[in-house]
Amino acid sequence: MPEWTAVAVVFFLITMCLYPRTGESGRVTAQRTSLRRFLRSAGLPRSEGDAWLAERLGRRERAAAISSQVLLVLALACGLAIPALRDSSWWALALIGAVCTGRAVGPLIAALRQARAPLPTDAPRVARTARPHVGDHVAWPERAISAAMALAPAGVTAVAAGCVLLGMAEPSTIAWSTLGVLSVAAVAVPVLVSYLAALLVHAPRPATSQQNLFWEDALRARTLRALYCLGGTLALSLGMGAAIVFDSAVTGGWPENPVRGAAIGTMLVFLVLLPVYSGLAAGAAPGQRFRQRLWSSGLMKDAA
């Protein structure tokens, strides 16, 4: 079994474990576990109205697992169809990106679908006068760090250019066009993330009670934080790809060739950052910012 095929199988098994168990008792157990984790991450107590939250949370977690599996199967199929790809490090990055993208985009799609679902005509409606913003759910440092990750490929390109200027590498040996494409693609990632975040935060929030509106705010905070973590993960993956391109252009070993040391050091930085951000994307929690910004009045006490 090729190395990256084994990696794909591991990722597939992980997403299968994340998928809620089948059967009535399995679904109930999975919902209770997810609900406890969700409430604990937001610093909220259990209440009698958790059935609505458990149902919404279950839908979005199922969407996350299914979308991860679908994207992972597509990435696996591409690697199996192209032999040169499955023996390349690029395929490993595609597998990581598929899982992380599914975990973040699946709940986003589920949330947008639920936002368009009409309420019963005789049901009461609850809404707020002020429109929420992305900053009400995700703090600016999180958004800034995610956007800063988009400079990862450009940083690798700068390192390569520095090696050329110092006479440590030949310009003709480095694939500048590939590095340029990766840099532009990475810059486009936070733009896309910001668009999707605005789309979600401005979507309708149909609710029949203040408590349901509070839970919906918490669910969207979780989805938005996962989305920004995904943006950082994808940008770091492109940065890792740029580091691979840089390393493949270097001949000789280290310490004989200092450029090899620079390439290896750059790759090690991404190898440390990528798992960290991937884990944050997979385990994003709602946090408590939405409570402070949207429910700082006495309504939060009634809703929570």
Is residue 125 in some structural domain? no
- Does residue 60 contact residue 15 with C-beta atoms inside 8 Å? no
Selected residue with higher pLDDT from 270 and 192? 192
Q: Is the pLDDT of residue 256 over 70?
A: no
Q: How far is it, in rounded angstroms, from Cα 287 to Cα 7?
A: 31
Selected residue with higher pLDDT from 31 and 181? 181
Instruction: Provide the percentage of residues in the chain whose pLDDT is more than 90.
Output: 5
The closest alpha carbon to 217, from 78, 18, 82, 38, belongs to 38
Q: Is the pLDDT of residue 100 over 70?
A: yes
Q: Which domain holds residue 257?
A: 3-118+130-303
What's residue 231's pLDDT?
Answer: 87
Is residue 123 in some structural domain? no
Selected residue with higher pLDDT from 123 and 130? 130
Is residue 226 in some structural domain? yes
Q: What's the number of domains the chain is made of?
A: 1
Q: Is the pLDDT of residue 175 over 50?
A: yes
Selected residue with higher pLDDT from 274 and 23? 274
What's residue 121's pLDDT?
Answer: 65
| pLDDT category of residue 158 using cuts at 50, 70 and 90 | confident
Is residue 230 in some structural domain? yes
> Any idea which of 3-12, 161-170, 221-230, 247-256 has the lowest mean pLDDT?
3-12
Decide: pTM greater than 0.85: no
Is residue 96 in some structural domain? yes
Q: Is the pLDDT of residue 25 over 50?
A: no
Is residue 294 in some structural domain? yes
